[in-house]
């Protein structure tokens, strides 16, 4: 059964980065992000999910800074990456970056 009620984000990624495979790899990156936090001693639960996201965004911002991603060039990754950057969802921008630049 195909579940049609996808989020706008997912549709956006499919469109921009090329299909279902891209969404899967985007989600894989989120899993990797979570895995790294678990390794650092985090137990991610429903209750601390917002705290986790806050920390994750902080960490992703540092990574993006190190990669040279700024307000001025983030739109070169994708529109979605740009939108999420404006919202402070650097974890999404990072996932997009990894998706686009690991595609080669």
Which residues contribute to the site for Zn ion (CB under 5 A)? 92, 95
Closer residue to Zn ion, CB minimum distance, 67 or 87: 87
Closer residue to Zn ion, CB minimum distance, 12 or 92: 92
**Using CA atoms, how far apart are residues 94 and 68, in angstroms rounded to an integer?**
12
**Using CA atoms, how far apart are residues 74 and 64, in angstroms rounded to an integer?**
9
Shortest distance (Å) from residue 86 CB to Zn ion: 15
CB 99 within 8 A of CB 26: yes
CB 5 within 8 A of CB 66: no
Closer residue to Zn ion, CB minimum distance, 29 or 41: 29
Shortest distance (Å) from residue 30 CB to Zn ion: 6
Q: Residue 28, Cβ neighbours under 10 Å: how many?
A: 13
Shortest distance (Å) from residue 48 CB to Zn ion: 19
Give the residue at shortest CB distance from Zn ion.
92
């Amino acid at each position: 059964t195909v579940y049609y009620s996808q989020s706008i984000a997912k549709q956006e990624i499919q469109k921009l980065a090329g299909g279902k495979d891209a969404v899967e790899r985007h989600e894989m990156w989120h899993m990797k992000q979570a895995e790294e936090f678990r390794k650092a001693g985090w137990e991610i639960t429903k209750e601390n999910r917002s705290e986790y996201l806050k920390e994750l965004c902080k960490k992703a911002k540092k990574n993006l800074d190190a990669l040279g991603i700024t307000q001025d060039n983030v739109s070169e990754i994708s529109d979605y990456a740009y939108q999420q950057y404006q919202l402070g969802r650097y974890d999404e921008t990072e996932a997009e970056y990894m998706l686009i630049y690991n595609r080669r």
